[in-house]
Amino acid sequence: MVLAVLGTALYLGGLSNPAGHLKDFPVAIVNQDRGADVPSDGGGTEQQNYGQRIEDEFATEAGQDERLDLRQLTWDEAREQLERGELFAVVVIPESFSEDTVSMVKGSLTQESAAQPEITLYTDPQAGSLGTRVATEVVQPGLDEASSGMGESLVKSAESAQQQAYDQVLSELESQQDQQSEQLQRSAARGGPAVQQFAQQVQQAQADTPQQVADQLAPKVSSVSTDLLRDPLNVVTQPYQELEEGTALGMGAFYYAIILLVIGLSGSIAVNVLMDARAGMAPLEMGPSFRDLPRVSLPRWLTFLIKWGLFTVAAAPTSALMLWVASGVGMPVPHGVALFFAGWLSLSAVSAVVLALITLGGSAGMLLSMIYLVFMGLPSAGAVVPLQAVPDFFRVIAPLEPLHHIYMMVRSILYFDAHADAGLQSGVIGVSLILVIAVLVALAGGWVYDRKFGRRGSRGPGKHAAHRVQSPATDAAAVVTGGQPAVKSGENPNAVLS
């Protein structure tokens, strides 16, 4: 019941609501726009850089929203961070962005070809498939808002351009009308009063003609063009690098790390059970076979070293076999040697943790290992859900969890060319520190236990002396300590109850 409560609370509590726990999510914006001339209200043009306006709006919004860690970078800087798995998305504004934007305004009034301004959203699925989805959901509303804000400016520019076109047509028509009026006046001057009066009537009748003709001839922005101008951005989403076949949609590194964790956990428990049976601390049971071997009382610290040493020796061929099988089923393995050593180190570290917890907690150490390595490790691994989208508790404990460092090592080797800054260096250091701490705690704790409580399987300090009693129903002897009988078998005559 306790495991059920803890497992549900930790696992679902850590992974069920990424959007609600988003904080400092790393994305970048790259502005390559070179600007363009835009019609102004005064009839001229002015230099505008719409890409810079979008970048500034993003930066302002990110400064007020703790969910985003927006980085304003050059394209080369953004590529370097993408290739190290440090970014989940990059918004790239092209060089022709402002020119395409202006062409939309001109194209709405003329028959000239126009290009819709386009922004590319590069995602990095190798950094985590769910991280890519979260990045898109976080960035897209900002792009929509930027498109709406820019659209209002474009509609005003289109209205200004439309008014300029109307004024120009009207000016030409009025100029032509003035010329015609002068010619008519000169012709009427050579006629009589009746001709002059007729000329005045003609001029009065044509007084409003230029405005009427200008309304018909001047270009206008259609309702369809207005709607397009109000939401001008075309956002194209594409991965920065396509995933290879066999990568499980970018989750292959996490699956491999999970296998290492499970083998380290279950294998260490198996070694512990078998070694305790061989030492007579528990019956050795294999199928129908049941044997109770003579007890060998060893110091706890030595018992830990024997168990962990056996597992570490077996972990080397285990890591090699895992690598061979993974490659055989189609998983790309670009750096096999590095993955082999990473697997060996990971298995050894997980085993050290499990056996240390068993050394200090006894049988309860198995449950503690499940809670620490699995229930706390999965949400803080940063693989299923990025660390920037989990509760603060899991961000804090992530450096203390083996699975997080194992995943970072494996991901760097499989997807980021074993680059040290992509998680390989930090992963190796983190796993090594956890291994060393686990070994030291187990040795120190085992030594203290032995000094204070005696060795496993022996009578500790202050225990009552055991005395033999004979069972009337069997030839087996019993040892009574504190009033509790412990049955001895023929194969374990030295068994005592400590």
User: Kind and range of the H or E element at 282?
Assistant: none
- 465 pLDDT exceeds 50? no
- 220 pLDDT exceeds 70? no
Confidence band of 39 (pLDDT split at 50, 70, 90): low
Residue 489 has what pLDDT?
46
Question: Which of 441, 239, 476, 427 minimizes the C-alpha distance to 360?
Answer: 441
- 479 pLDDT exceeds 50? no
Residue 482 has what pLDDT?
37
Buried b (16+ CB within 10 A) or exposed e, 22-59: bbebbbbbbbebebbebbeeeeeeeebbbbebbbebbe
Beta strands in 112-196 (DSSP E): 118-123
Select the more confidently predicted residue: 47 or 128: 47
Q: State the chain's maximal CA–CA distance in angstroms.
A: 158
Residue with tokens 């030595």: 302
CB of 375 within 8 A of CB of 462? no
Q: Which range has highest mean pLDDT (170-179, 212-221, 295-304, 398-407)?
A: 398-407
Tell me the three state secondary structure of residue 366.
helix
Question: Which of 306, 385, 451 minimizes the C-alpha distance to 21?
Answer: 385
Task: Give the lowest-confidence range in 111-120, 300-309, 401-410.
Answer: 111-120
**146-163 confidence digits (pLDDT tens):** 877 777 777 776 666 665
For the chain, the domains span 20-239, 248-456
What number of other Cβ atoms are within 10 A of residue 86's Cβ? 18
Task: Give the lowest-confidence range in 128-142, 208-222, 277-291.
Answer: 208-222
Q: Over range 132-145, report the average pLDDT.
A: 82
| Length of the chain as a residue count | 498
pTM: 0.79
**412-425 confidence digits (pLDDT tens):** 999 999 999 999 99
